[in-house]
Amino acid sequence: MRTTNPNRLTQRSLPKRLRAWWGVPLLLTAIATALLALAACGGDAATPTPQATPTPQATAIPATATPSGPTTGGSLRVGLISDEWDFDPPTLVNMPAIAGMPHLYDNLVIRLPDGTMKPMLAESWTTNDDASQWTFNLRKGVKFHHGKEFKAEDVIFTINRLFEVESPLASVMVKPLAMVAVDDHTLRLEFDGPNAVLLEALVKYHMVITPSDVDTKRFVLEEFGTGPFILVEHVPGERTVMKKNEDYFLEGVPLVDEMIFVYLASPESRAESLKAGTVDVIFDLDIESSISLEADPNTKVLAQASAGYLNLAMDVTEPPFDNVLVRKAIQAVTDRKAILQAAQFGLGGIAYDHPIIPSDPLFNSECMPPDYDPDLAKSLLAEAGYPDGITIELHTSTTGGGAMVPMATVMKERAAPGGINIEIVQVPETGYWSDAWMVKPFVTVWWGGRPAYEAFSVVYPTGGSWNESKYSNLELDSLLETAMGQGTLEDQKPTYGRLQCIVVDEVPRIIPVFRPVLVGSLLDVRDLVPMPDFTFQARWTWLDR
C-alpha cells in the first residue's frame, strides 16, 4: 500500500519462493522524494567527510497496483544500450552481454545484494584450515541447453579457459595448482597458498560455467548455458530474444515465458520507451531520466546501494600522464562535490580516488586526496615543466547511466582555473568500450561495485587485462598477493590501508564519486532484483497483468 508520508521509506521482503530458497530479505530503495528534492534545491552535495551510503530499502507498492501474487507467463522487455555482444563469457565486456549472462548461464555460487554467498551450481563447499584447498559438492541432474549433463569436468574446463584466453577475471581468480574431479559431482581446487577470496571470483559473470564438449570457437556467436533462459534470436543493435528454460533445475523459475532485450540508442529514448509502454524495464537508468519516471503515474524506479563508481582513467605510459605531478594536478582540480551534484543529483557518495567506500571497515581515512585547489594544480604543473598549463582531450559517452558526460563537463569547468584546458570528445554509446576505453589516454569510466580484494585486483595489478591506466607498482602487486590469504579484518586492515595510500598518492585513476544502481520499470513488473555490481536478476520477476 502507498505510504502516507512521501518522505518515509517502507520495506517488504522477497517473494515467498525466494525467501524459502535464500532465507534472507532483499531491500530496495524508494528514491522518488530524494530525487525530486535534489533536482529542485540544487544545494551542496555531501561534505567530503567519510559517510556510509544509505541502507537500501524497499519501494512502496502504489495503491493502484495491488499485487495478486506471483503469476507465470508473458514477455519481459528490457531496454538496454545499443552495443556489441560477444557471447563468450570469459572475454565479454559490453553491457548487453553482462546483462544477459546471469540469465543464460549459472555460476557455482551467487552473491546476494547484501553481500552474502549462496549456492547455485555448487550445492555446498568446504575448505581446509588455511583455505589453500576448496572442495565443492556440485548439483546433480543439471543439463546444459544443448543436452550435456553438468559435471566437475565442466568447471575445470571453465577455469582453464579463463587463463587460456587471458580473461579480465584472471587477475582476480588465482590459477589453481591442481583441479581434481573426485567424481562427477565433487571438485577439489588446490592452491599453492591460502586463498581466502576464491568465492569473490566464482560469483562473477566471467565465471559462469560453460560445457567442456563444445568447440570454443562457437562460444562467440552461440550460448551453451544451464541458465533459466535459452537464447532464441540475436539481431545486433536491435533485439535479443530468450525463451523460458522449461527444464531449469530451480522449481518454478523463471516465471515469465520470454525475455527480450531491446536496444535503444540513448538514455532519452530508453526513458520515453518505458513511458510509452514499449519496454517493461530500463536497466542502468540514468538519474536525470529517473526523475521524470518517478513523476510518471505508470512507472517506478528501483535503486540498490552500491560500491560502484565513476572514474577518470589516465594512461600512465603516455605524456603528459606519465608524469605523476600532472596526475596530481588533475587530482587537485577534481571538485568531488560538484561532480556528485551534477552527475548524480547528489545521490550516492563522495569517493577518494580508490574503490573502498567510507562505510567499509577497511577504509583508510589517513590517505586522502587534496580538496579542490586550482592554485595547487598550477604549482604542480609548473614543477612538472608546464608553467603555461596543458591542454588534454577527455573522451566520454552517455553509456553507464548517463553520468559520465556531466562528470566530464564539471572536470572541464573546474580544471580551467588550475591551468588545465580539457577538450571533451563525446563518443557514441555503441563502440565506446572498444573504441575509446583502454584506447584513448584519458577517458571517463564507470565500474560496478566489488568487494575490496576484487575492486583492487581487477584494475591495478601489473599487466592486468582491465588495467585501464597501464599502471605498474610492484609493492601493490605484492600487497594483493598478501591480501589473497588474509581472512580476518585484523590482518586485512593494514594491507588494504596501504593499498589505498599507494593509489591516492600515485593517482593512476581519479575516482570522485560512488553511484547507486538504478532500474526503471512499469508498475506491474514485480520482483526485479537490481544487483550492486550493476547486473540484475530477472529469473524471479513476474508480471502482474
pLDDT in tens, 420-453: 999 999 999 888 999 999 999 999 999 988 889 9
Q: Cα(528)–Cα(241) distance, rounded to whole angstroms?
A: 18
Longest alpha-carbon distance in the chain? 69
Q: Give the per-residue pLDDT at 68.
A: 59
Taking the CA atoms of the chain, what radius of gyration do you get in angstroms?
A: 23
Q: End-to-end CA distance of the chain, in Å?
A: 18
Q: Which residue has the higher pLDDT, 381 or 167?
A: 381
Q: Give the per-residue pLDDT at 39.
A: 35
Query: What average pLDDT score do residues 207-229 get?
Result: 95
The CATH class of the 106-218 domain is alpha beta
pLDDT band at 256 (very low <50, low <70, confident <90, very high): very high
pLDDT in tens, 109-165: 998 777 788 999 999 999 999 999 999 999 999 999 999 999 999 999 999 999 999
Q: Kindly state the DSSP code that residue 60 receives in the 8-state scheme.
A: P
Q: Cα(306)–Cα(138) distance, rounded to whole angstroms?
A: 30
Q: Give the per-residue pLDDT at 534.
A: 74
Nearest Cα to Cα of residue 341 among 8, 6, 37: 37
Q: Look at residue 73 and tell me whether its pLDDT is greater than 90.
A: yes
pLDDT in tens, 327-377: 999 999 999 999 999 998 888 899 999 999 998 999 999 999 999 999 999
Q: Which three cell numbers stand for residue 233?
A: 534470436
Q: Look at residue 67 and tell me whether its pLDDT is greater than 80.
A: no
pLDDT band at 507 (very low <50, low <70, confident <90, very high): very high
Q: Give the per-residue pLDDT at 535.
A: 79
**Residue in this structure with the C-alpha cell 519481459, named with its chain if needed:** 76
pLDDT in tens, 85-110: 778 999 987 778 888 889 999 999 99
Q: Determine the residue type at 339.
A: I
Q: Cα(258)–Cα(245) distance, rounded to whole angstroms?
A: 9
Question: Options 1.10.510.10, 3.10.105.10, 2.140.10.10, 1.10.1740.10; which CATH number does 309-514 get?
Answer: 3.10.105.10
Q: Give the per-residue pLDDT at 17.
A: 33
Which residues of the chain does CATH 3.40.190.10 include?
75-84+222-306+517-543
Nearest Cα to Cα of residue 139 among 115, 153, 123, 163: 123
Which H/E stretch holds residue 98?
Answer: helix 95-104
**Residue in this structure with the C-alpha cell 543439463, named with its chain if needed:** 143
Q: 282 near 267, Cβ under 8 Å? A: no
Cis peptide before 461 (omega within 30 of 0): no
Which residues of the chain does CATH 3.10.105.10 include?
309-514
Q: Cα(185)–Cα(54) distance, rounded to whole angstroms?
A: 41
pLDDT band at 83 (very low <50, low <70, confident <90, very high): low
Q: By percentage, how much of the chain surpasses pLDDT 90?
A: 66
What stretches of 172-214 show up as alpha helix (H) in DSSP?
Answer: 198-202
Q: Kindly state the DSSP code that residue 174 receives in the 8-state scheme.
A: P
Question: Options 1.10.10.10, 3.40.190.10, 3.10.20.30, 3.40.50.800; which CATH number does 75-84+222-306+517-543 get?
Answer: 3.40.190.10
Which residues of the chain does CATH 3.90.76.10 include?
106-218
Task: Give the list of residues 6+ apart from residue 222 with CB closer than 8 angstroms, or none.
Answer: 87, 231
Nearest Cα to Cα of residue 23 among 119, 91, 93: 119
Q: 36 near 295, Cβ under 8 Å? A: yes
Task: Give the list of residues 6+ apart from residue 143 with CB closer than 8 angstroms, or none.
Answer: 149, 150, 226, 247
Sign of CA dihedral 197, 198, 202, 204: positive
Q: DSSP 3-state assignment of 185? A: coil
Q: Which phi and psi angles does 321 have, rounded to 5°?
A: -75, -10
Nearest Cα to Cα of residue 221 among 208, 211, 236: 236
Q: 109 near 94, Cβ under 8 Å? A: no
